[in-house]
Structure 1
């Protein structure tokens, strides 16, 4: 039985399926998804369909919330945030994938899937979260919006609190070479960002999807093979 983490798929269904072909997960494996399933890529709906299909077929999935997933939920009621989500975060691509004009027209089963996402998960000696932990909080594992948005938080890490545990996260795209460098010192540094910037095919070193086999200490990378029509604004 393996424990395998994925993150920041961002609607890149072809790349995601190709990565799954590499990893070859079995139903005895535990698959952890660290958020940001939607936006920017060409088919957010297909990514959510794939996750729900895997779960329906008996695969063991733990799915966490990302800031893009949360922003969709916020956009249901907040029109100002909706405009920002659509124009700056690639939310328009999510709506296109569903064939709708407004987020409230997305079928309820998908919205409920997102509403049910966890904020953080502990698996043996690993802490899984989308962006990071706020070590200024009395309990860094208490659900907190910072878990979805933090950047540049490593210097605040409370290693005494962390103990022998390791934090696996996404959210901040890093070149695959940098991810591999962090992987090599994981036993000492105890933090690994596995967001290889799948959607950012136009930026040097990015444009990959990454998975981390926590059981066998192995990284997988899949180059983006989706047709991308989104770019950083």
Structure 2
């Protein structure tokens, strides 16, 4: 069987994505099967370029499978509904806070401004007070309207169409992880894009090797029952693609394959 390639959280790092795709093409050709593990937007400088690249690849009928990440859904919900928070963010941070990266995503679409937040009380959701633009201060409602007018409808529709998982004979690919002892069809969709506790600390054998992102490391790592491919591109660390042959895994570098083992 041909190898399967996977790319972890991209977080708006278009240049890193281009490099990862070049490494994959050098190893497996232009028609390599690639699984993208979600979190295409936020924090990095060119979320729009990342989405464009993924959409173009699928339009060209490349064998690319793009999964949904929590940051992608955050972005889509902000545009559709104006939602700035998610109950899974225990800190209550606003999606527009630089730590989550929503403002950087909007900037890549030409919606530029300095976000000003109210002083956050412990346990409260962080509240956007206004956005400072070149034309002056605008309200949160005006910012949402500007974003809705600037983000292409097909970008949001693309995100809303993304599946939560992808299976092969040997791999189960998902953005964040899954809960042990629960069948795939009965998993909570929220867990599939958000889970850490109960997944990262389990030695449970899921049948297939779980390939995921979401939890940023310094470099992709193999844990035996799972492989975490989020190497921290959202924080400026390299985006490292991987290749799988059965359950065997290698990362890809300019010098070729490097085994990724337990």
Fold-level similarity (TM above 0.5): yes
Residue 134 of structure 1 aligns to a residue whose secondary structure is coil
Query: Paired residue for 2:81, among 77, 81, 89?
Result: 77
Alpha-carbon distance in structure 2 between the residues aligned to 1:110 and 1:40: 18
- Distance in structure 2 (CA, Å) of the matches to 1:104 and 1:78: 9
Residue of structure 2 equivalent to 1:44 = 47
Range with bigger deviation, 94-103 or 115-124:
94-103
Give yes or no for the alignment of 1:171 onto 2:214: yes
Alignment of 1:1-233 (within 5 A): 1-24=2-25, 25-75=28-78, 76-81=80-85, 84-87=94-97, 88-100=99-111, 101-102=143-144, 103-105=147-149, 106-135=151-180, 138-141=182-185, 142=187, 144-152=189-197, 153-159=199-205, 162-163=206-207, 165-176=208-219, 179-180=220-221, 182=222, 189-201=224-236, 207-215=237-245, 217-220=249-252
What is the TM-score with the length of structure 1 in the denominator?
Answer: 0.80
Q: Secondary structure at the match of 1:54?
A: helix
Report which of the two has the higher share of helix.
Answer: 1
Question: Aligned residues, how many?
Answer: 205
Q: What TM-score do the two structures reach when normalised by structure 2?
A: 0.71
Tell me how far 1:27 sits from its aligned partner.
Answer: 4.7
Counterpart CA distance in 1 for 2:216 and 2:9 is: 9
1:221 & 1:131 partners in 2: Cα distance? Answer: 24
Q: Displacement of 1:9 after TM fit?
A: 0.5
CA distance in 2: counterparts of 1:155 and 1:80, whole angstroms: 30
Give the secondary structure class of the aligned counterpart of 2:167: strand
Task: Kindly report structure 1 stretches of 4+ aligned residues shifted beyond 4 Å.
Answer: none
Higher Rg of the two aligned structures? 2
Secondary structure of the residue aligned to 1:133 is: coil
The alpha-carbon deviation at position 158 of structure 1 amounts to 3.1
* Greater mean alpha carbon deviation, residues 107-116 or residues 140-149: 140-149
Tell me which moved more, 212-221 or 59-68.
212-221
Structure with more contact order per residue of length (Cα contacts < 8 Å, sep ≥ 6): 1
Distance 1:154 1:48 in 2: 28
Alpha carbons of 1:7 and 1:96: their partners in 2 closer, same or farther (altered >3 Å)? Answer: same
Structure 1: where are the runs of 5+ without partners? 202-206, 223-233
Gaps of 5+ in 2: 87-92, 112-142, 255-262
Tell me if the contact between 2:42 and 2:101 (Cα under 8 Å) persists in the aligned partners. Answer: yes
2:89 is matched with which residue? none
Number of the residue aligned with 2:132? none
Q: Using a 3 Å threshold, how does the CA distance of structure 1 residues 129 and 221 change in structure 2: closer, same or farther?
A: farther
Are the aligned partners of 2:24 and 2:32 in contact in 1 as well (CA < 8 Å)? no
The offset of 1:134, in angstroms, is 1.3
Q: Please name the residue that 2:119 is paired with.
A: none
CA contact (8 A) 1:132 1:150 kept: yes
